Each structure stands twice: as C-alpha cells, then as structure tokens.
C-alpha cells in the first residue's frame, strides 16, 4: 500500500483516509454495486482490521446488491429480536419514527454479546437520514485495553463478563422495533459468558470486551460487587481520544469490527425519521 499526501493511502485504486487518530477510515474510489475483484475485497478487509470501522459514501445499492457485497466478508445472520426485510431476513431494518423518543442502539455497546458467538462485524447502510443529527460514535477497544494500568489488566485478564439481552440499558433501545416488527422465533431472553478481555482472532491484539448495554456483572461476583469496576470501564472506554464520529448521508455505509470496536447511535434528531438497513456476520466464541 503506497502512501499519499494528507494521510491518504492508495491501494488497488482505493483511497483510504483515516478520519480520527484512534479509529475509523473512509474509503473512496469504489462502487460497491460492482463485482469487486478479490484483491479489492482483501484490501477492504485489511482496512477494517487496521481501523476497526470503515465508511463508504453515496453507495446506490438495492437489497440484493447490499447482501451480495456483505457475503464477500462472511456469513450474514439474522438479528434475534427484530424481523428482517421481506425476502431478505438477514437485513434488519433499524428505524426511528418522528414520534419516537428512544433510538435503536443509543448506548455504548458491542453487538449482541449475549450470544455465545457474537457477530464478527456489522454493516449499516443509510436509507433515510434526518436533516441534521443522527451521527454514530465509534470507540477503539484495543486502545481502551492498552491504556489501562498494569494492575487493572492483570485483574481483568482473569475475569469473565455475563451479558444479558434483558439488561435495561440495551433492551429499551430496541423496544419500538421489537414491538412493531418482532422476530417470532426470538427467545424471551439470552445470556452468555465472555472474557472481559478478548484476543482478536485475526490480529492477535487484546481488546476490552464489556459494554454498558449488555454486561451485567462478572462471573463469580454479584452485580453490586461488579458495578464499581464496570462503571469505571464504561467511562474509560468512551474517552474522546478513543473515538470517532460519523455523519451519515443517503447511501453511506459503515462496516465495523465487533471484536475491536463499540458504537453508540446519537439520539439528537427528535421529530425526524431515520431508516438504516443492518447486516451482521456470524462470529466465533471469544477467547
């Protein structure tokens, strides 16, 4: 990959431009509706590993094209609690209506850590955006772990977090969609145990793997005993220097690595409609 002025990297005609010091890069020079060569897909995947989340602008994709692009990176899976689009069950509509006050995903989290095998990553495609607001924040969990004290690292390396789909911080953000477009096969509650620090299966880097939407306590501890540690970690992982902020436009697409990043959808567009289409990828059991 050759360097270019202004921090832009150029590879296989792609332009990869970091948007913050810690996380995130925009990729230009590509039409995702095309049948992209394998070399381009490898470059995009490497950019994902390097930057934790990558963004594309002004992509005109119908559902079939969107799904075909996603399948180049892994196996799409259905979201447990909200029904997918007709004919495309692995594409989940993420909608906030003008009269609704709570937005889907409006809390710092990694996706569905209450699953035994949480997603490898997630794509989100903007179909309809408000005239202002509705940005998404992303945070680098590798940096969040690396900047902890040696003593905190030693303690966390032996802890297991318990994730619960019924935790109020997370469940309340999906209530409107789960009510309007429920997945009839969804269980009432899902729980899973994962290490508080996971090792990325592709990069080998350690990342903090607890989140305020789903992690309720540590294994072997009560919620009350776990709370002070978790509260500190939730505040730590969202420090501004670990984050980037993405402003959506029609046709914007974000692809984040759920193993090394968390995200938070900003709820600052009351009275406006926002429609996104989400695809999540089969992952593995965190180690």
Task: Answer yes or no: are the C-beta atoms of 40 and 29 closer than 8 Å.
Answer: no
109 among known catalytic residues: yes
DSSP letter at 117 equals: S
**What is the rounded distance in angstroms from the CA atom of residue 51 to the CA atom of residue 41?**
15
Catalytic (active site) residue 116: no
As a whole number of Å, the end-to-end CA separation of the chain is: 31
The active-site residue out of 51, 263, 274, 277 is 263
Catalytic residue among 45, 51, 83, 111: 111
Phi, psi of 286, deg, nearest 5: -60, 140
What is 16-70 written as a DSSP string?
EEE-SSSS-EEEES--TTS---HHHHHHHHHHHHHHSEEEE-S----HHHHHHHH
Measure CA 149 to chain center.
Answer: 26
Cα 33 from Cα 24, distance rounded (Å): 22
Which is catalytic among the residues 109, 200, 214, 259? 109
Answer yes or no: 111 catalytic.
Answer: yes
User: Taking a C-beta distance cutoff of 8 angstroms, is the pair 200, 260 a contact?
Assistant: yes
The Cα–Cα gap between 268 and 31 comes to: 30
In what helix (H) or strand (E) does residue 137 lie, and over which residues does it extend? Answer: strand 136-140
| Residue 236 annotated among the catalytic residues of the structure | no
CB atoms within 10 A of CB 116: 15
Neighbouring CB atoms inside 10 A of 124's CB total 23
φ/ψ region of 82 (left if φ > 0, alpha if ψ in -120 to 50, else beta) reads beta
The alpha carbon dihedral of 73, 7, 109, 285 has a sign of positive
Catalytic residues: 109, 111, 263, 278
């Amino acid at each position: 990959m050759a360097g270019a002025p202004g921090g832009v990297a150029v590879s296989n005609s792609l332009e990869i431009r970091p948007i913050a010091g810690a996380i995130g890069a925009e990729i230009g020079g590509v039409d995702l509706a095309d049948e992209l060569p394998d070399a381009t897909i490898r470059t995009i995947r490497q950019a994902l590993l390097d930057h934790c989340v990558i963004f594309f602008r002004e992509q005109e994709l119908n559902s079939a094209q969107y799904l075909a692009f996603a399948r180049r990176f892994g196996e799409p899976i259905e979201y447990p609690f909200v029904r997918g689009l007709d004919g495309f069950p692995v594409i989940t509509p993420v909608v906030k209506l003008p009269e609704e006050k709570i937005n889907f995903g409006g809390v710092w989290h990694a996706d569905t850590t209450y699953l035994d095998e949480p997603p490898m990553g997630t794509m989100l495609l903007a179909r309809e955006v408000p005239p202002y607001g509705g940005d998404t924040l992303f945070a680098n969990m590798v940096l969040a772990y690396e900047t902890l004290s040696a003593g905190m690292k030693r303690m966390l390396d032996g802890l297991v977090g318990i994730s619960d789909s019924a935790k109020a911080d997370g469940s309340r953000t999906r209530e409107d969609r789960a009510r309007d477009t429920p997945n009839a096969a969804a269980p009432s509650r899902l729980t899973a145990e994962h290490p508080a620090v996971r090792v990325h299966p592709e990069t080998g880097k350690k990342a903090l793997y607890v989140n305020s939407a789903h992690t309720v306590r540590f294994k072997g501890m009560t919620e009350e005993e776990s709370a002070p540690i978790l509260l500190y970690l939730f505040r730590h992982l969202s420090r501004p220097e670990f984050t980037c902020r993405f402003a959506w436009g029609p046709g914007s697409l974000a692809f984040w690595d759920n193993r090394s990043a968390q995200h938070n959808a900003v709820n600052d567009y009351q009275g406006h409609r926002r429609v996104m289409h989400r695809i999540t990828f089969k992952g593995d059991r965190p180690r």
